[in-house]
A and B are shown apart, each in its own frame.
Chain A
Amino acid sequence: MASPSRTELLGLYRSLLLTARECCDYNVREYAKRRTSDGFRQNRNLTDPDSIASVYREGKNQLAVAKRQAMVYSLYAPKVKSIMELDAAITTNTTN
C-alpha cells in the first residue's frame, strides 16, 4: 500500500475534528477532539512509510467509527444538555 500523501493525512485530521465537533455529548466531543490532536502530535515524527501507512489505516477506521457513533449519539441525545455546555452558551451570550 502506497504511503499516504500529506494532503491525505491532513484531510484525515480535518475529517476527524469535524466529525468530533458534530457529536452531541459534551464529554465524547471533547475527548474526540483532544485525542485526535494528541494522537497526530504523537505520531508526527514517524518516517518509516509502512508505519505511516498503518497509522493512517487505523485513523481511517477510527474516522468511520466516529461518523457512525456521532449519528447514533445524535439519535438518542438527551433533551437537556450538560451543565458545561449550558454555561458555555451563557458566557458566549453575555460576552456578545
Chain B
Amino acid sequence: MASKLLASTLRQTLTKATAYSVTRQFSTAAAVSVAAAAPAPDSYEDPNGIIMKGVKIAGRPLYLDMQATTPVDPRVLDAMLPFFLSRYGNPHSRTHLFGWESDLAVENARSQISDLIGASPKEIIFTSGATESNNISIKGVMHFYKDKKRHVITTQTEHKCVLDSCRHLQQEGFEITYLPVGSDGIVDLKELRAAIRPDTGLISIMAVNNEIGVIQPMEEIGEICKEFKIPFHTDAAQALGKIPVDVEKWNVSLMSLSGHKIYGPKGVGALYLRRRPRIRVEPLINGGGQERGLRSGTLPTPLIVGFGSACEIAKKEMDYDHKRIMALQDRLLNGIREKIDGVVINGSVERRYAGNLNLSFAYVEGESLLMGLKEVAVSSGSACTSASLEPSYVLRALGVDEDMAHTSIRFGIGRFSTEAEIDRAVELTVKQVVKLREMSPLYEMFFFLLSLLTEKEGVNVWPGFPCLVTPEAYDWENNNFHLFDRVEADAASAFIALWLEKYNLSSQSQYEDVQQLKWNGDKQMVASVRNEVCKRLLIFALSEEAYLFHRRRIAESSHK
C-alpha cells in the first residue's frame, strides 16, 4: 500500500518539469510522510542554462570523454547504496555482524574482479586507484629487489604516474630505459629484446593507451618476459572490461586496475599480484597489515562492492558493448570524414580499442576548436596533462607534427553513448572545424591552390605558373605532395630556387634539401624532403605564390 502511494506520487511528480523545489514524499512503514526538497543547486545552474568560466550553454553537454572517467552504472550504484546506508561496518572488525557482512561483501567483490581477469581472488589487493597500484608495482618491486636488479624498461607513451614513478627511481639511482614507439603507437618487440639486461627487474607496458587507444601486443611481450624471467607489469586500467584480459595468456605478474574506467566509482582500484611464481613488493603504505601487509588501511567497502559489481556487469556485457561501440566509432569517423578532409587518426587503426578515437584536424588550432565544442565534452590530450600548454607527450612520441598534435581531439565512446549523440558530435565538430578553417589564412592559401588547380588537371592553368600538383596528390597522412611528372619535379625545383632567392634564403643549409629536389622515377616526392622545415616551406611557398598570382590576375582582370 505504502509503495503504491509512493509510486503514484512519484509518477505525478516525474511527469512535471524538473523544477528543483518539487517536494517529494517518503513513506515509512508507519506511514509518516516527510516533505523534503532536493539538495540546493549549485550557483552556476539556472533554468535557462549553465554559465561557468565565462561560457554559457543551454544544457548539460553530451559526454564523449570516457577515457577520463565513466558514469557510474545504475546497477553498480544499486549494489553500493546499502553499504552507505545500513551496512556501514568496517570489514576488518571481527567481532560483530557489521564487520562480518562487510568482509563478506569485500571478498565477494574480490572474486568478481578476479573472475574478469582470470586470476584467483587471493591475488587481488585493493588500492585507491590505478595510480596507487602503478606506484606500488614500480617502486615496490624495484625496492624489494634493489640489491640484484637495477634496471626498468618502460615505454614513452605510458601514463604519467608510471613515468613519474620511474623518474623517482632514477633519482634513487636506478636506470630506466624508455622504449620508443612506432608511428602507430605499438612498441617494437625487437627493441624490447635488445633493451633487456641481466639486471632488468621489471618491464612495464600499458595494455591500452588512454590517449590514443592502441592495444599493445601483450601476448608477445609476455612471452619475451617469460623467456628472460622478468616480471611483467601492465597498467590495464583502460583495458579492463573492454578487451578480454587474461593474466595467464598475457603472462603478467602485476596488473593495475581502476574502478572508474569501467562504470564503477572513483577512488578505488586494485592490483593483481601473481602467486606462482610469487612476485614480492615492498609496501608503500604501512599500518595495520591489511591486504596481506601490502596496503594497510580500512577498505572502502561501498567502493569495493561497486568495483566488483562493475566488473561482473562488464564480464556479461563485454561483447554487446564492444559491437555497439565499434559501430558507433565507424559512424563517428565516417560522419566526420564525409564532410571534411584533412582528418588524421593518431595511432594504429588496426590494433586499437574502438571506444577511443584520437583525431587531428589539419590547419585548425586545437584550443580554439575545443573552446567552440563546449556542448560536447571531449578532451585534447589526457586529463592528467591538459593543464599545461605543451602538446601531449604521447603524440610527440608517435612522431606527430607539433601543429597536428595541438589540434588533436580525443573522442571517448562508451556503453551509454547513443547514435543521436554521435551524430550531434559530428555535426558540431564539422561546423567548428569549417568555421575555423575559413578564418585560417594558411588554409585559405592552400585551398586556393588546390581549388584552382582542379579546374584543369595536369595542364598549365596560367602561362608561366608551373603546374605542380593535383588535389589528390596531397597525402595528409605523411604530409607529402606527390609530384606527378618528371617535368613538374624539375619545375618545382627551379621554382623553389627562385623563391628562396627572392627572400634571400638560398644560402641557408636547411633549405638545401629543397633546392635539390630529386626525381627518383616513381611519381613521388623523394624521401629527402623529409625535413619538416623544408616541407612547410615548400607548401607555404607554393600556396603563397599561387595566392599572389591569383590576386594579381584578379587585379588585372578588374582593371580591364
Are B60 and A69 closer than 8 Å at their CB atoms? no
Partner of B78 from the list A22, A69, A75 (CB cut-off 8 Å) is: A69
Partner of B420 from the list A22, A68, A77, A84 (CB cut-off 8 Å) is: A84
Are B24 and A31 closer than 8 Å at their CB atoms? no
Q: Please measure, in the bound complex, the distance between the C-alpha atom of A76 and the C-alpha atom of B421, giving whole angstroms.
A: 23
Partner of B59 from the list A73, A74, A80 (CB cut-off 8 Å) is: A80
**CB within 8 Å of B: which A49-89 residues:** 62, 65-66, 68-69, 71-87
- Residue A28, interface by CB 8 Å: yes
Q: Please measure, in the bound complex, the distance between the C-alpha atom of A38 and the C-alpha atom of B41, giving whole angstroms.
A: 36
CB proximity of B315 to chain A, nearest CB, Å: 14
Partner of B58 from the list A35, A77, A79, A83 (CB cut-off 8 Å) is: A83
Partner of A27 from the list B14, B18, B39, B417 (CB cut-off 8 Å) is: B417
**With A24-B18, A27-B71 in contact, is A80–B78 under 8 Å at CB?**
no
- Residue B81, interface by CB 8 Å: yes
Are A78 and B60 closer than 8 Å at their CB atoms? yes
CB contacts (< 8 Å) of B59 on chain A: these are 80-86
Are B78 and A79 closer than 8 Å at their CB atoms? no
**With A22-B11, A77-B18, A84-B421 in contact, is A27–B63 under 8 Å at CB?**
yes
CB contacts (< 8 Å) of A35 on chain B: these are 320
Partner of B10 from the list A28, A34, A71, A77 (CB cut-off 8 Å) is: A71
CB contacts (< 8 Å) of A24 on chain B: these are 14, 18
- Residue A8, interface by CB 8 Å: no
CB contacts (< 8 Å) of A28 on chain B: these are 71, 74, 416
**CB within 8 Å of B: which A24-54 residues:** 24, 27-28, 30-31, 34-35, 38
**With A30-B416, A86-B58 in contact, is A80–B63 under 8 Å at CB?**
no
User: Which of B50, B57, B59, B71 gathers most chain A CB within 10 Å?
Assistant: B59
CB contacts (< 8 Å) of B49 on chain A: these are 80
Nearest neighbor of B71 in chain A, beta-carbon distance: A27
CB contacts (< 8 Å) of B375 on chain A: these are 83
**CB within 8 Å of A: which B1-38 residues:** 10-11, 13-14, 18-20, 24, 38
CB contacts (< 8 Å) of A77 on chain B: these are 18, 38
- Residue B75, interface by CB 8 Å: yes
Q: Please measure, in the bound complex, the distance between the C-alpha atom of A87 and the C-alpha atom of B320, giving whole angstroms.
A: 28
CB proximity of B435 to chain A, nearest CB, Å: 19
Nearest neighbor of B6 in chain A, beta-carbon distance: A71
**With A22-B11, A31-B415, A77-B38 in contact, is A83–B77 under 8 Å at CB?**
no
Are A65 and B74 closer than 8 Å at their CB atoms? yes
Are A80 and B75 closer than 8 Å at their CB atoms? no
CB contacts (< 8 Å) of B24 on chain A: these are 75
- Residue B46, interface by CB 8 Å: yes
Q: Please measure, in the bound complex, the distance between the C-alpha atom of A83 and the C-alpha atom of B418, giving whole angstroms.
A: 13
CB contacts (< 8 Å) of B415 on chain A: these are 31
CB proximity of A61 to chain B, nearest CB, Å: 10
Are A83 and B81 closer than 8 Å at their CB atoms? no
Are B418 and A80 closer than 8 Å at their CB atoms? no
Are B424 and A69 closer than 8 Å at their CB atoms? no
Are B20 and A74 closer than 8 Å at their CB atoms? no
CB proximity of A78 to chain B, nearest CB, Å: 6
- Residue B47, interface by CB 8 Å: yes
**With A31-B415, A71-B10, A76-B39 in contact, is A82–B60 under 8 Å at CB?**
yes
Q: Digitize B398-442: 1 where CB-to-A-CB distance is under 8 Å, 0 elsewhere.
A: 000000000000000001111011001000000000000000000
Are A84 and B75 closer than 8 Å at their CB atoms? no
**CB within 8 Å of A: which B315-349 residues:** 320
CB proximity of B477 to chain A, nearest CB, Å: 33
- Residue B105, interface by CB 8 Å: no
**CB within 8 Å of A: which B49-83 residues:** 49-50, 57-63, 71, 74-75, 77-78, 81
- Residue B199, interface by CB 8 Å: no
User: Which of A38, A65, A68, A78 gathers most chain B CB within 10 Å?
Assistant: A78
Partner of B418 from the list A30, A38, A74 (CB cut-off 8 Å) is: A30
**With A24-B18, A65-B74 in contact, is A79–B39 under 8 Å at CB?**
no
Q: Please measure, in the bound complex, the distance between the C-alpha atom of A69 and the C-alpha atom of B77, giving whole angstroms.
A: 8
Partner of B41 from the list A68, A74, A79 (CB cut-off 8 Å) is: A79
- Residue B188, interface by CB 8 Å: no
Are B416 and A65 closer than 8 Å at their CB atoms? no
Q: Please measure, in the bound complex, the distance between the C-alpha atom of A38 and the C-alpha atom of B323, giving whole angstroms.
A: 12
Are A69 and B47 closer than 8 Å at their CB atoms? no
- Residue B45, interface by CB 8 Å: yes
User: Which of A66, A78, A82, A83 gathers most chain B CB within 10 Å?
Assistant: A83
CB contacts (< 8 Å) of B10 on chain A: these are 71, 74
Lowest 8 A-B CB distances belong to which pairs? A69-B74, A27-B416, A83-B59, A86-B59, A82-B60, A79-B45, A65-B78, A30-B418
A74-B13, A83-B59 known; 14 other A-B pairs, CB under 8 Å? A27-B418, A28-B71, A31-B416, A65-B78, A72-B74, A74-B14, A75-B24, A76-B38, A79-B20, A79-B46, A79-B47, A81-B59, A83-B57, A83-B375
What are some 5 contacts across the A-B interface (CB < 8 A)?
A30-B418, A73-B74, A78-B60, A80-B46, A80-B49
